[in-house]
Amino acid sequence: MGSPWRRAVNWVRPRPSVCFYTFHRCASTLFADYLLRNIDGMTPIDYLSQIYHGHEPASLTFERRGHVYGPLRLTAGWAPALEPSRGLVASVERLRALVSTEEFVKDKTAMFLVRDPRDMLVSMYYSFGFSHGFSPVPEIRECQEQDRREIQGLTIDEFALTRVAHILAKFDEVERLSGACRRGVVLRYEDMIDKWDHFVDGLTRLLEIQPRVLKELYQRSRPREVEDVAAHRRSGRPGGFRAKLKPETIASLNVLLSRVLGRFRYDA
């Protein structure tokens, strides 16, 4: 008898899954809507977006290979506005609680994208206070509307000084999680704008990205020539906080954020 016919199979093992951590107002929408959807061989899973649009995931699973999860916005959550948390608001809190532990992240492949916290505070003021759209989910929208009313009762300087402790805690979270992660990379928004090649070196260390996708990411990430305070993407230019905040406000923020600014190489 002749040898049995065997069909050759060209099989490539999927790459390790990647968890993409970041904040609101840190180009997270750009990464959600474009980059994370265009990674070769990776299935994008955006649990926060599913919840935000009213589609609660059946389970919060994280496969070891073949997926990119995120953006996992560490600033997500509306629990302070509604106590106790209910419905899909509580689902956001459950997701955050899961992905924000050293035990979860230690054996994951993870990327952490940060931005100058002073620019984040300014961007949050304009976005959450005036231009950001509301979720179709009633309990999430209620929290957003309450937050908007509170923000609109503050000046931009008052907002920055009121919310800086929250932002500081989130940077501490990034430092804690990135330190526990055995295979992780920390990226800076500012490098995407001003040091593109350096940014791409870090970005492609864990993700396989086609040149055409990188080219499109570059084009989409360029700052606006003229600021538009009514747009979701108001400016995008690093250091804009210096023109928006009073000198005494910046001085206070620099003291409160001194450890973060030093750790992530931001000038005071």
Residue 30 lies in a domain: yes
Amino acid at residue number 80: P
State the Rg of the chain over Cα. Answer: 20
Residue 13 located in a structural domain: no
CA 88 to chain centre: 19
Cβ pair 223, 189 in contact under 8 A: no
Residue 9 within any structural domain of the chain = no
pLDDT at 228: 54
Query: Would 248 be classed as within a structural domain?
Result: yes
Residue 149 in any domain: the answer is yes
The pLDDT value recorded for residue 58 is 86
Q: Which of 188, 222, 17 lies closest to 117 in space, CA to CA? A: 188
pTM here is 0.88
CA distances from 154 to 33, 40, 117, 123, 149 (A): 31, 45, 19, 14, 9
Length of the chain in terms of residues written: 268
Give pLDDT, residue 27: 93
User: What range defines the domain where residue 259 resides?
Assistant: 18-224+234-263
User: What was the pLDDT predicted at 7?
Assistant: 46
Tally of domains in the chain = 1
pLDDT at 259: 95
Nearest to 27, CA basis, from 216, 210, 232, 251: 232
Assigned domain for 2 exists = no
Q: What is the pLDDT along the chain (268 residues), one digit of tens a residue?
A: 444 444 444 456 789 999 999 999 999 999 999 999 999 899 999 999 999 999 989 889 999 999 999 999 998 864 444 444 567 888 888 899 999 999 999 999 999 999 999 999 999 999 999 988 899 988 889 889 999 999 999 999 999 999 999 999 999 999 999 999 999 999 999 999 999 999 999 999 999 999 999 999 999 999 977 665 655 555 678 999 999 999 999 999 999 999 999 999 999 8
Question: Which are the contacts of 17, defined by CB distance < 8 A and separation ≥ 6?
Answer: 42, 62, 63, 64, 65, 66, 67, 68, 69, 108, 109
Q: Considering the domain boundaries, does residue 229 fall inside one?
A: no
Q: Does residue 80 lie within any of the structural domains?
A: yes
Tokens encoding 112: 């952490």
- pLDDT attached to residue 93: 87
Residue 111 vs residues 74, 94, 129, 202, 204: alpha-carbon distances, Å: 13, 21, 29, 9, 10
- What pLDDT score does 87 carry? 75
CATH code of the domain covering residue 148? 3.40.50.300
